[in-house]
Amino acid sequence: MRGGRRLWLIVAAVVVVVLAVVIAVIATSGGDDRAVSERSMTIAGVPEGTTPVSLDASLFLPATLPAPAVILAHGFGGSKDDLTSEARTLAGRGYVVVAYSARGFGASGGLVHLDSPDYEIADARRIIDRLATMPEVERDGPNDPRVGIAGGSYGGGVALLAAAYDRRVDAIAADITWNDLSQALFPNGVFKRAWAGQLFSQAANTATENGCGKFAPDVCAAYQASATAGAPTAALQTLMRASSPASVLGRITAPTLLTQGQQDSLFPIDQAVRNATGIAANGTPVRMQWRTGGHDQPGGDISSAVQSWFATVLQDKRTPQSGFSADVADGALSADTGRSKARPLSAASLDAAQKTRQMPLLGGTQLVNAPAGGTPTAITAVPGIGSLLATATSVTGGVSLSALPGQAGGFVSAPLASDTLVGGSSTVRLRVTPLTTSDATLFVSLVDVDTDGKRTQPSGLVTPVRLTGLTPGQPTSVTVNLPTVVRTVAAGHRVAVQVSTTDLGFALPTDARTYSIALDSPTLSLTTLTGEARSAPFPWAWPIAGIVVLLALIAGISFAGWRRGRTESADVPADDVSPIVVEGLVKEYGDSYRAVDGVSFSVEKGQVVGLLGPNGAGKTTVLRMMVGLISPTAGSIRLFGRHVGPGSAVLARVGAFIEGPGLLPHLSGRENLDLYWAATGRPRADADVETALEIAGLGASVDRKVRKYSQGMRQRLAIAQAMLGLPELLILDEPTNGLDPPQIAEMREVMRRYAATGRTVVVSSHLLSEVEQTCSHVVVMHKGRLITAGSVEELAGAATSTLAVADVAAAQRVLADAGIDADVVESRRHLEEAFLDLIGEESS
């Protein structure tokens, strides 16, 4: 693979995301697990050639025996330890439960074969064999235990495939899993490199001579060849076909519960739809639920659905009813619980719930460009944070990281007359004309455009389109099935079809090219969702702190700069160019409120500058414009002589955190730093992680989970994150917020140590004493305007205000008239006094 395009540089950003996926197949409420007994057990798996393989498992027994059994399978990269809570709850409800580590993971032996029927699925069948010999397990017949299988993602694939190959499986609960690995990882022939690489890294993180880690050699070789080529080889196609439920759905006779997440760019909802259609074709009962959450955002409690399914099939021995349900999140948070609210819908089937309406679209022929090297690249769904990124990159005025200027076009409807619940895959016919090539690669999505022009791409999902055998200059028509999404589009909003030439999650052509795009049919076939609303509360969601963390991380991605942007020769500044020059900066919002009003100042190399002002002064707004998160209404900002805009390459020279640190609590500090840096797409060697850690003074704590950090440690880690790559300009917004005095003193030392390296620091703060002790220069703002700028010495060193000087002079005259000689001893004011004088004069 070529150095600038190496897969691991992109996908290391999500190497730990599977650990964040919830395999919540059993509820933690109800049942009594106090009488549950647990013991370890070892199960003989399929040998690797002549090498025996042992599977590490735990057995959970209920109080009453014999009982039906449930096998729990974990997600990719996990182990049986991830399933302990669910296993105990199920056992408390009267099941014999086996939770095990799949081969190649946890303490189990063997290699990873990607749910191969000859290995992982054969292992699951051996577990069923073991259950058939246990007197604790209820039987349907000789060598036939009454058993269900539940799992999420990788474990969901095990559940479906095991039931296809072993008729003894009586019930299935498969969550956020795949139908066809080829379609999931190479949709429409376009390589989903970010997610594919994340999966490979998850099992290839052990150093080996061939770089395969715990992957079986044939799987590793097929993947490496396919990743290099950007398309699946015949060998990989064969392996993926064997590991795909799509190839064996006709064999599944066990009643099946399929739950699929709406925030899932790895295995989107369409994968569950295909599984449900194939299984139901046999007359097998299938219930499908479109839940909130997914691989990109944990959430959506499916416990009660799984418990009810297993209780009906395994305990009551009844045939469950087929059906369809969807949890429609409205995006708001409950004031009582702090959790996402959702509106559950149900219907007899998906067909009964869906309707299609023809919606006219506006927009003529447009030209879109694909840049050479595929850089800069649009960002839609970064694995693990895809849905949040779609929200964070929607910017009023049409500027969005998911639709870079010149790279995207689209077509839009008239305003909707009423709220419309989009639910499913809509279709549109496009006419694509490549002007210089015989092929085309495009990314098409559905977008919600509000009345202010803010664009939201539901769940950050796109449909990649790959066209070959074209003639340059000749149009070709294509029907595009848009991503399957669930979203309520409010009355007055418009629905748009967006077409882009780049996407960070996929392999891209490296040559520059231009396409002409137009509508081949003037209407969008919009799929909507109807059904009976049920008043069930949404049980839990990703913690609010986690949402803030992810959004802050996303903000970091947006200003970290495009891949290798830091080394672009065009942005190498001359020695005499100021790091920051702000001229006539204005930011005005729709209600004519000016948050920033005509601000001008400059920052020179090596300075530590404090941006001061009371709440509402406009400090954070200036910083947000400085890193390209929002655009000024008027005026300009130049960093190192280059104008700043969203995604500007010069921003790769900047490190920052604004409005809170971007940290994931379930990861260690070091994993957070690795995730952040890899998301920039820049070489690992350029991160200078150890230097940043040394300056921040984190010590051994960097390898602890962030959720165990104190507030001071979180702030130090956030600054270390901003320091990655040792940027020439470091911008920190209120870095001492929430810290106690000792922690503030530590943070002061951190900033001093960084400034000592010869770089420039800008710190926004309302703690004037800290600025005075830390900063060399200050910029004072009030009510959006600049009050003064200069060195701390100049501002705080003056003896007194003008009024005070006059008073002293008058006092000297009075004393002189009385025959008393008096000398004036000047005292140095603190910065706080000078600041209050300035603000007071400005207010007057």
Average pLDDT over residues 357-379: 91
Winning range, highest mean pLDDT, from 350-354, 476-480, 727-731, 787-791: 476-480
Mean pLDDT check: name the lowest of 365-369, 392-396, 585-589, 767-771: 392-396
Q: What is the per-residue pLDDT for 205?
A: 58
CA 93, 99, 261, 557 torsion-angle sign: positive
Fold of the domain built from segment(s) 546-795: Rossmann fold (3.40.50)
Q: What is the per-residue pLDDT for 386?
A: 58
Q: What is the per-residue pLDDT for 23?
A: 33
Q: How confident is the model at residue 319 (pLDDT cuts 50, 70, 90)?
A: very high
Q: What is the per-residue pLDDT for 526?
A: 96
Question: Is residue 544 within 8 Å of 379, Cβ to Cβ?
Answer: no
Q: What is the per-residue pLDDT for 125?
A: 98
Winning range, highest mean pLDDT, from 22-26, 323-327, 763-767: 323-327
Collapsing DSSP to helix, strand or coil, 792 comes out as helix
Question: Is residue 521 within 8 Å of 429, Cβ to Cβ?
Answer: yes
Domain 12-182+242-321 = CATH 3.40.50.2300: no
Rounded alpha-carbon distances, angstroms, from residue 601 to 598, 633, 778, 790:
10, 17, 10, 9
Q: How confident is the model at residue 839 (pLDDT cuts 50, 70, 90)?
A: low
Average pLDDT over residues 122-132: 98
Compute CA 325 distance to the chain's CA centroid, rounded to the nearest angstrom. 25
Pairing relationship of beta strands 455-456 and 37-48 according to DSSP bridges: unpaired
**Looking at the predicted structure, is the pLDDT value of residue 288 above 90?**
yes
Instruction: Measure the CA–CA gap between 101 and 56, rounded to whole angstroms.
Output: 6
Question: Is residue 461 within 8 Å of 476, Cβ to Cβ?
Answer: no
Average pLDDT over residues 175-193: 94
The C-alpha angle with vertex 204 and arms to 199 and 205, in degrees rounded to 5, equals: 110
Mean pLDDT check: name the lowest of 385-389, 402-406, 593-597: 385-389
Collapsing DSSP to helix, strand or coil, 696 comes out as helix
| Residue ranges in 354-490 assigned as alpha helix (H) | 386-392
Rounded alpha-carbon distances, angstroms, from residue 136 to 67, 85, 240:
6, 21, 37
Exposure letters 255-281 (e unless 16+ CB within 10 A, then b)? bbbbbbbbbbbbbbbbbbbbbbebbbe
Compute CA 202 distance to the chain's CA centroid, rounded to the nearest angstrom. 17
Instruction: Identify which of 180, 222, 183, 178 has the alpha carbon closest to the alpha carbon of residue 200.
Output: 222
- End-to-end CA distance of the chain: give it in Å, rounded: 65
Q: How confident is the model at residue 553 (pLDDT cuts 50, 70, 90)?
A: very low
Q: What is the per-residue pLDDT for 834?
A: 64
Structure tokens at 525: 């076939």
Q: How confident is the model at residue 361 (pLDDT cuts 50, 70, 90)?
A: very high
Question: Is residue 42 within 8 Å of 57, Cβ to Cβ?
Answer: yes
Residues 6+ apart with CB under 8 A from 676: 13, 553, 556, 560, 662, 721, 724
Structure tokens at 641: 């002589």
Q: How confident is the model at residue 484 (pLDDT cuts 50, 70, 90)?
A: very high
Same fold for the pair 12-182+242-321 and 357-533:
no
Question: Is residue 191 within 8 Å of 231, Cβ to Cβ?
Answer: yes
Instruction: Measure the CA–CA gap between 272 and 290, rounded to whole angstroms.
Output: 9
Tell me which residue has tokens 């006219």. Answer: 360
Q: How confident is the model at residue 101 (pLDDT cuts 50, 70, 90)?
A: very high
Instruction: Measure the CA–CA gap between 230 and 377, rounded to whole angstroms.
Output: 17
β-strand partners of 149: 71, 172
Instruction: Measure the CA–CA gap between 844 and 835, rounded to whole angstroms.
Output: 14
Instruction: Measure the CA–CA gap between 481 and 458, rounded to whole angstroms.
Output: 15
Query: When comparing pLDDT for 218 and 299, which is higher?
Result: 218
Q: How confident is the model at residue 835 (pLDDT cuts 50, 70, 90)?
A: low
Mean pLDDT check: name the lowest of 27-41, 245-259, 358-372, 427-441: 27-41
Winning range, highest mean pLDDT, from 136-145, 528-537, 712-721, 803-812: 136-145
Number of H helices and E strands in the chain, helices first, is 22, 36
Percentage of the residues of the chain whose pLDDT score is greater than 90: 47
Q: What is the per-residue pLDDT for 14?
A: 38
Q: What is the per-residue pLDDT for 799?
A: 40
Instruction: Measure the CA–CA gap between 550 and 772, rounded to whole angstroms.
Output: 33
Tell me which residue has tokens 């990788």. Answer: 154
Q: What is the per-residue pLDDT for 123?
A: 98
Q: How confident is the model at residue 575 (pLDDT cuts 50, 70, 90)?
A: low
10 Å Cβ neighbour count for 54?
Answer: 14
Instruction: Measure the CA–CA gap between 486 and 424, rounded to whole angstroms.
Output: 7
Q: What is the per-residue pLDDT for 823?
A: 61
Instruction: Measure the CA–CA gap between 309 and 318, rounded to whole angstroms.
Output: 10
Winning range, highest mean pLDDT, from 280-284, 570-574, 643-647, 717-721: 280-284
Q: What is the per-residue pLDDT for 338?
A: 39
Winning range, highest mean pLDDT, from 486-500, 542-556, 565-579: 486-500
CA 13, 630, 333, 616 torsion-angle sign: positive
Residues 6+ apart with CB under 8 A from 140: 146, 168, 170
Query: When comparing pLDDT for 244 and 540, which is higher?
Result: 244
Q: What is the per-residue pLDDT for 179?
A: 97
Query: When comparing pLDDT for 292 and 59, which is higher?
Result: 59
Q: What is the per-residue pLDDT for 444?
A: 97
Instruction: Say which CATH superfamily domain 357-533 falls into.
Output: Galactose-binding domain-like (2.60.120.260)
- For residue 493, which amino acid is it? H
Collapsing DSSP to helix, strand or coil, 835 comes out as helix
**Looking at the predicted structure, is the pLDDT value of residue 192 above 50?**
yes
Mean pLDDT check: name the lowest of 143-157, 166-180, 229-243, 747-761: 747-761
Ramachandran angles phi, psi of 189, nearest 5°: 85, 5
Instruction: Identify which of 246, 75, 229, 219 has the alpha carbon closest to the alpha carbon of residue 156.
Output: 75
Average pLDDT over residues 14-30: 36
Question: Is residue 68 within 8 Å of 314, Cβ to Cβ?
Answer: yes
**Looking at the predicted structure, is the pLDDT value of residue 701 above 70?**
yes
Question: Is residue 84 within 8 Å of 59, Cβ to Cβ?
Answer: no
Q: What is the per-residue pLDDT for 13?
A: 41
Span 597-620, pLDDT tens digits: 999 999 988 888 988 888 778 888
Query: When comparing pLDDT for 381 and 426, which is higher?
Result: 426
Question: Is residue 150 within 8 Å of 26, Cβ to Cβ?
Answer: yes
Mean pLDDT check: name the lowest of 343-352, 621-630, 681-690: 681-690
Q: How confident is the model at residue 554 (pLDDT cuts 50, 70, 90)?
A: very low
Q: What is the per-residue pLDDT for 384?
A: 66
**Looking at the predicted structure, is the pLDDT value of residue 173 above 90?**
yes
**Looking at the predicted structure, is the pLDDT value of residue 566 above 50?**
no
Structure tokens at 89: 């709850």
* Residue spans per domain, the chain: 3-11+186-241, 12-182+242-321, 357-533, 546-795, 798-843
Q: What is the per-residue pLDDT for 75?
A: 92
Average pLDDT over residues 409-430: 94
Instruction: Measure the CA–CA gap between 840 and 844, rounded to whole angstroms.
Output: 6
10 Å Cβ neighbour count for 813?
Answer: 11
Instruction: Measure the CA–CA gap between 692 and 673, rounded to whole angstroms.
Output: 10
Q: What is the per-residue pLDDT for 749?
A: 77
**Looking at the predicted structure, is the pLDDT value of residue 328 above 60?**
yes
Winning range, highest mean pLDDT, from 232-236, 330-334, 691-695: 232-236
H or E segment to which residue 743 belongs: helix 741-755
Give the total residue count for the chain.
844
- For residue 590, which amino acid is it? G
Collapsing DSSP to helix, strand or coil, 537 comes out as coil
Mean pLDDT check: name the lowest of 199-203, 507-511, 652-656: 199-203
Interaxial angle between packed helices 234-242 and 217-229, expressed in degrees from 0 to 180 and rounded to the nearest 10:
120
The pTM of the full predicted model, rounded to 2 decimals, is 0.63
- Looking at every residue in the chain, the average pLDDT score rounds to 81
**Looking at the predicted structure, is the pLDDT value of residue 627 above 60?**
yes
Average pLDDT over residues 204-230: 81
Q: What is the per-residue pLDDT for 748?
A: 76
Q: Which DSSP string corresponds to 256-299?
A: EEEEEESS-SSS-HHHHHHHHHHHHTTT--EEEEEES-BTTB-B
Percentage of the residues of the chain whose pLDDT score is greater than 70: 78
Average pLDDT over residues 368-386: 83
Residues 6+ apart with CB under 8 A from 318: 312
Q: What is the per-residue pLDDT for 808?
A: 57
